[in-house]
Amino acid sequence: MTNKKKLVSCLLLWFAGASQVITSAYAGTAVTRPDGDPGLRSSAVLITDINGQIVYARNPAEVRSIASLTKVMTAMVVLDAKLDMEEPLEITREDRDLIKLTGSRLGFGATLSRGQLLHLALMASENRAASALGRHYPGGTATFVAAMNGKAQALGMTDSRFSDPAGLDPGNRSTAKDLALMISAAYDYPEIRQLSTASQLEVYPYDDRGPLRYVNTNRLLKNKHWDISLSKTGYTNESGRCLVMRALIDGQPMNIVLLDSFGRLTPFGDSNRIRRWLLKG
């Protein structure tokens, strides 16, 4: 190789490693990310700061099923309606999962307040709780789903579509880019921040039985190295394992979206890889 070719080759390598930049898909800005690759195993990933600037992206505009991440939108629509959080709502046969045929610890006749059902939907991803919230919305479930889609459009989530309050229908679809917008909007609701990051809740849905204890589906909330202020997990066969979070990393608030992770623990492993990568950078 001639000296000239060696020089060109060295310059190309230097520019490739000196500044790895990803251009924001929706803000038109460029943000320098840490050197190297975080080695993530999720199919779609988006990490943004609170201004919407992208720190890392992989397939951020691909439309995918989002499973129970849907419940964040459900929570916003419920809270927007300013309904009575103390009103008791009963679980009925209408709240059965006829799509995935999943079970529930909330049997027919179980009664909890609207606030408790919202808590279980966000923290423990309780499907019948989310279904009951939509069914007891003024106008019923169909009106509720229409409000979900209206909210998505108002937030600029142009590639998103919601089909049911729980996220069981594969027709609940979005992109990592849109979900980052959803996280930012949901963060403005103190109730969502509090309920989605609570560690556990005991409820008494039956007069003649003892309590039911629910725990958070995000195991990172028990990790002392994490400071998480909003969280939601999701899983169906169509969506794979999913996770959205607002977390403080090295003093900087970050929105993290992980979609279609293969393996039960992969979203949490990817989250730890992201944290290490950002701290190194």
List, by residue number, the catalytic residues.
Answer: 68, 71, 125
The 3-class secondary structure across the chain, one letter per residue, is CCHHHHHHHHHHHHHHHHCCEEECCCCCCEEECCCCCCCCCEEEEEEEECCCCEEEEECCCCCEECHHHHHHHHHHHHHHCCCCCCCEEECCHHHCCCCCCCCCCCCCCCEEEHHHHHHHHHHCCCHHHHHHHHHCCCCHHHHHHHHHHHHHHHCCCCCCECCCCCCCCCCCEECHHHHHHHHHHHCCCHHHHHHHCCCEEEECCCCCCCCEEEECCCHHHHCCCCEEEEEEEEEECCCEEEEEEEEEECCEEEEEEEEEECCCCHHHHHHHHHHHHHHHC
Between the alpha carbon of residue 113 and those of residues 61, 133, 148, 151, 187, the distances in Å are 38, 10, 21, 24, 23
